[in-house]
Amino acid sequence: MLGVVSFVFALSMPALAQSASGPLRPHPENPRYFADASGKPVYLTGSHTWNTLQDMESATSASLFDFSAYLDFLERHHHNFIRLWRWEQAAWDLTASFPFDTDSKKVLAVAPHPWARTGGGSAFDGRPRFDLEQFDTAFFERLLHRVQAADRRGIYVSVMLFEGWELSNMSWDSHPFNKANNANGVDGDPNADGRGLEVHTLAIPSVLRIQEAYVRRVIDTVGSCDNVLFEIANESGAYSTEWQYHMIRYVKDYEAIRHRSHPVGMTFQWAKGSSDPVTDTMLLEGPADWISPRRDGKDGETYRTDPPVADGRKIVLLDTDHLWGIGGNVGWVWKSFLRGYNPIFMDPYDNKVLGKVRPGQWDPLRQALGQTRRLADRLDLAALTPQPGLASTRYCLARAGQEYVVFLPEGGRARVDLSGAGTLNVEWVHPVEGTRTPAGSVAGGQPREFEAPFAGAAVLHLWKQR
């Protein structure tokens, strides 16, 4: 066992936030991560919540989202990524979100939307119908202001273009493409089955034309911002594959005309008529730059408990939204990081949309995300790859002979194969608090055993003396 130096110090506080550098692109040497404008690897992690772009209010609650306070929250936790959610419908029936809001039977009104509500006649809620030929400037102004505000804090933003969970899981009565809600005669449900799934297919030319015009307007609005990523749709169904591929290519083609490209992502899909997800094949084989999969991993492994090694075919933002809905833990964060993923958390935040949780219940997970980022900033991330075979715990990010990061889920001892390594510095990192405990150095050349100096989960960092 190695001796432990008798003092402990915390990770130094980061410098004042600087604007995000970009646009991001897949790192040429380690495509598990993005690279910024300078070529530096960028590891993305953070907590996102539902009402970051549109207000969501119940009949009894009219409090608006404080985006500045939310950015303060992200900075305190050292997060650098969020999804900027876009809800397609003008109402969210929370009873469809069981079990995350079981004691609430409220419906949230959602606004603003991309299209102005100036059409003749009344929509589902008694307000004017949507005019799908006229944009609502308030929506796009808010989108730009919030992306720019995040940029000033060094936070990258995935701009969600469409939302598919609602089509698979709740009535589409409040959707702008429901013929009762627009003044343009657009019918997004031509088979009259009451679901409107066709709006996430290529089946209706009039809908596709409106969607493409909206996508162009979004790109015109935020396409000059360095901190932008695009996400086609959150959890649309398997029926949407070709439509999503089309939209990915459409974004890329339109940005090529503007000579400024941003990464485009695709998230997992629900199987049609089922609550089961389809496999990751459509994500991995598609044209997206980054993906967010569901549960099934290779050889029976699951993303929840033992994430399979990220192979670099796509940059993967491993999102608790698609694994649990609301869930995850500290161990999952570090396992995901050391298997080559960019983990992110679907955060109930202030409980005003979904979630009835105790104050601070999710703080350890939030803090762990931030600690992975702070450690990532110290690593030679371009050269590190997941190498489970080098550590007895099988959670190891390494460049053999040069640098190793090992996670011990239960603490205690870990054996690390240091064959080919010279003398290495040794340091222990607390996975939640981020405190760093130096433990001298160790001679490589063979497997070595290390014991954590504190109880519970621990992170071991070894690197070559310079």
Closest by CA to 180, choosing from 141, 128, 115, 238, is: 128
Amino acid symbol at 353: V
pLDDT of residue 371: 98
The rounded distance, in Å, linking the Cα atoms of 247 and 235 is: 15
Q: What is the pLDDT of residue 295?
A: 65
Angle formed at CA 234 by CA 230 and CA 238, multiple of 5 degrees = 115
DSSP label of 73: H
- Whole-number pLDDT of residue 15: 45
DSSP string, 185-252: ---S-TT-SSS-GGGGSSS-HHHHHHHHHHHHHHHHHHTT-TTEEEEEEES-BGGGHHHHHHHHHHHH
| CATH code given to domain 17-383 | 3.20.20.80
**CATH code for the part of the protein at 387-464:** 2.60.40
Q: How many angstroms separate the CA atoms of 154 and 426, rounded? A: 30
Helix (H, G, I), strand (E, B) or coil at 383: helix
Which two structure tokens, joined as six digits, stand for 279? 């496999």
- At residue 279, the pLDDT reads 62
Strand locations in 268-308, DSSP E? Answer: 290-292
CA distance 368 to 458: 11
Sequence-distant (6+) residues with CB within 8 A of 461 are 375, 404, 405, 426, 427, 428, 429
The dihedral formed by the CA atoms of 163, 164, 168 and 172, expressed in degrees to the nearest 10: 50
Residue 298 confidence (pLDDT)? 47
Low-confidence ranges of the chain (pLDDT < 50): 1-16, 273-276, 297-300
Domain positions in the chain: 17-383, 387-464
pTM for the full predicted model:
0.93
Q: What is the strand order of the sheet 290-292 is part of?
A: 46-48, 342-346, 315-319, 290-292, 264-267, 228-234, 156-163, 81-84
* Contact (Cβ atoms closer than 8 angstroms) between residue 23 and residue 262: yes
